[in-house]
Amino acid sequence: MIWLTLPALLLTMVGAQEVQQSPLYAAAPEGASVSLVCLTRGALFGGVFLERRWPTPANVIYFEDQVEPTVDRAFRGRIAFSGTQSNLTISMSLLTPNDSGVYACRAASERRARSPGTMVAVTGEGQRVKSLSGDQSSPSMVYEDMSYRGGNQQRR
């Protein structure tokens, strides 16, 4: 048993290190932006993808050094890149509550290694994030409507 599981475990650990991403959590009001950093190492045969893994899976971008980046229609005009494919900062701007989700970097490598991802919570007008919890594979975001908290009553 041990002889079978140990190599699998090592492979998993190496795979996990191949792509790192920060931050784990990001909260932003509607219209603001968030920046994610993807670090990859090891031999890639291409560049780096940013995938939305939750709530609806989608490819957001593909970035490769010296190549024109690809950006999904829903994010076109709202993504800025800096750095290189091994140390890439991806800024997503003009966020809408619709953009809330889990975003993970994936390397174009043989193991298709990817990071656990960043949980992004975008709050609409009069809302705030009460909690971001769980992990990136079973996220939980709880929003609170601030109009119950006194002060200005905001109407939408």
Residues that bind ligand NAG (CB under 6 A): 39, 83, 87, 96, 98
Tell me how far, at minimum, the Cβ of 38 lies from ligand NAG, in Å: 10
Between 125 and 135, CB nearer to ligand NAG: 125
When the beta carbons of 100 and 136 are compared against ligand NAG, the nearer one is 100
| DSSP per-residue letters across 109-153 | STT--B---EEEEEE-TTEEEEEEEEETTEEEEEEEEGGGGSSPP
Find the shortest distance in angstroms from Cβ 154 to ligand NAG.
Answer: 19
Q: What is the largest CA-CA distance in the chain?
A: 64
The residue among 12 and 98 lying less far from ligand NAG, judged by its C-beta, is: 98
Q: To the nearest whole angstrom, how small is the minimum distance from the Cβ of residue 121 to ligand NAG?
A: 15
Report the relative pairing of strands 25-29 and 118-123 from DSSP bridges. parallel
User: Which residue, 32 or 39, has its beta carbon nearer to ligand NAG?
Assistant: 39
85: left (phi over 0), alpha (psi -120 to 50) or beta: alpha
**With contact defined as beta carbons under 8 Å apart, do 87 and 37 qualify?**
yes
CB distance 36 to 117 below 8 Å: no
Which segments of the chain does DSSP mark as H helices, in order?
2-18
Work out how close the CB of 122 gets to ligand NAG at its nearest, in angstroms, rounded to a whole number. 11
Q: Which is nearer to ligand NAG, 70 or 84 (CB)?
A: 84
Task: Output the smallest distance, CB 87 to ligand NAG, in A.
Answer: 4
Closest CA to 68 of 57, 86, 50, 81: 81
